[in-house]
Amino acid sequence: MIYLDYSATTPVDQRVLDVMTPYYTASFGNPSSVHRFGQQAESAIDSARETVARVLNCRPDEIIFTSCGSESDNLAIRGAAYAMREKKGAKWILASRTEHPAITNTLKHLEKYEGFLIEWLDVNEQGQVTPDTVSKAICDDTAVVSVMYANNEIGTINPVKEIAEICKAGNILFHTDAVQAAAYLHVDVNELGVDMMSLGAHKFYGPKGVGALYIRNGTPLVSHLTGGGQEFNLRAGTQNVPNIVGFAEALRLTNEERENRIEHVRPLRDKIIGTVLETVPDSLLTGDMESRLPHHASFVFKDTDGNLLLTLLDAAGIACSSGSACKTGNPEPSEVMNSIGLSRDWGLGSLRVTLGNSTTPEHVDTFLQVLPGLVENARSLKKK
């Protein structure tokens, strides 16, 4: 099998696994325990928090460890919404139409059950939220704005620094979902100017089941997971020590090796984009060509069943995606496809190809050789 779905998840780096292993066996203590076993576990978490803080250029006590990027999104959105409603009666939450379901479904829940008001920010044809759109939408009653750093389905990078500046000028909290971005983009929170930022380890060769939320000091936030006083009283529950250690090591390696990783994947991505558009009739690149994640290629093929194409690719030994791994199997075009203005005959035929550290030129050549024929087969089967 050739794996070309690194935006869905990545294998755990052996170096990450090596630093995690002792905390499953020898140093297995509960970090809340007073004795030496607990102290060892607590020290490991403290060290991991300091490592993450160095990469993000923030204070260690501004890092909250969670179970995943989705939980980080939930804590940021719910926590800020509750806090700002309590603080100044703010009820409006702004987010782009192309956010991950961890954001969109959380907002729909807050709207239905908690009485918050949601304004969905439009995107341009490349799937980008413009600063002007945000500037026109915010008001005194806005509790929080959330715009993702980079889109999971189409790879477009948003101008989060400029959006953060607009929100700061209006005294509005700004959150960004950087789960897809952290593998290849710089995540210096002071340079970006964000108040909150979500991360998930399994997108950059760390373990599944652990994430982090950066919360700028002084940002009002209400915990939505109550219990003990772990994670500065913002996220109850015994910390997952091995995974937290793995998260920190994976992020450290990503930060150190970022440029080399980009140099590896970008030429392969560009070859895929150029060749697919030349060899597959009625094909379009989705997302912005320039402001784009360096490992990410995404397309739509007219009059093609995207899920059927995935099945044919899988049978040919190639793993890809039709967009977000959380949406695979949905027979309708995703909200991202609709938001960038694609008609149904185009939007149903989406394909996402994402590369990683283990991707080789031979993998790419094989993919490019078989794709045109498989798209043709998928179109023929769809007509039947």
In tens, the pLDDT along 113-169 reads 999 999 999 999 999 999 999 999 999 999 999 999 999 999 999 999 999 999 999
Asked whether the predicted pLDDT for residue 325 surpasses 90, the reply is no
Residue 62 banded pLDDT, cuts 50, 70, 90: very high
Query: Quick one: tokens of 276?
Result: 């697919």
Query: Pairing between strand 173-177 and 2-3?
Result: unpaired
**How many Å apart are CA 174 and CA 215, to the nearest integer?**
10
CATH superfamily for 2-7+258-383 is Aspartate Aminotransferase, domain 1 (3.90.1150.10)
**Residue-range domain boundaries for the chain:** 2-7+258-383, 14-254
- Give the class (CATH, top level) of 14-254: alpha beta
The H or E element that residue 75 is part of is helix 69-88
Which stretch of 18-22, 246-250, 295-299, 323-327 has the lowest confidence by average pLDDT?
A: 323-327
Confidence of residue 177 (pLDDT cuts 50, 70, 90): very high
Tokens 């394909």, residue located = 351
In sequence order, the 6+-apart residues with CB closer than 8 A to the CB of 200 are 68, 69, 70, 72, 179, 210, 211
**Torsion over CA of 106, 151, 192 and 110, rounded to 10 degrees?**
-10
**Are both 2-7+258-383 and 14-254 of the same fold?**
no
DSSP 259-327: HHHHHHHHHHHHHHHHHHHHHSSSEEE-S-SSSB-TTEEEEEETT--HHHHHHHHHHTTEE-BSS-TTT
Statement: residue 227 has pLDDT above 60: yes
For residues 335-355, average pLDDT: 95
Helix, strand, coil share (%) of the chain residues, nearest 5: 45, 15, 40
Would you state the torsion angle of the CA atoms of residues 327, 333, 335, 337, taken in this order, to the nearest 10 degrees? 120
- Rounded Cα distance between 73 and 77, Å, is 6
Bin 107: left if φ > 0, else alpha if -120 < ψ < 50, else beta.
alpha
Q: Residue 323: pLDDT band by 50, 70, 90 thresholds?
A: low
Q: Which residues are catalytic?
A: 326
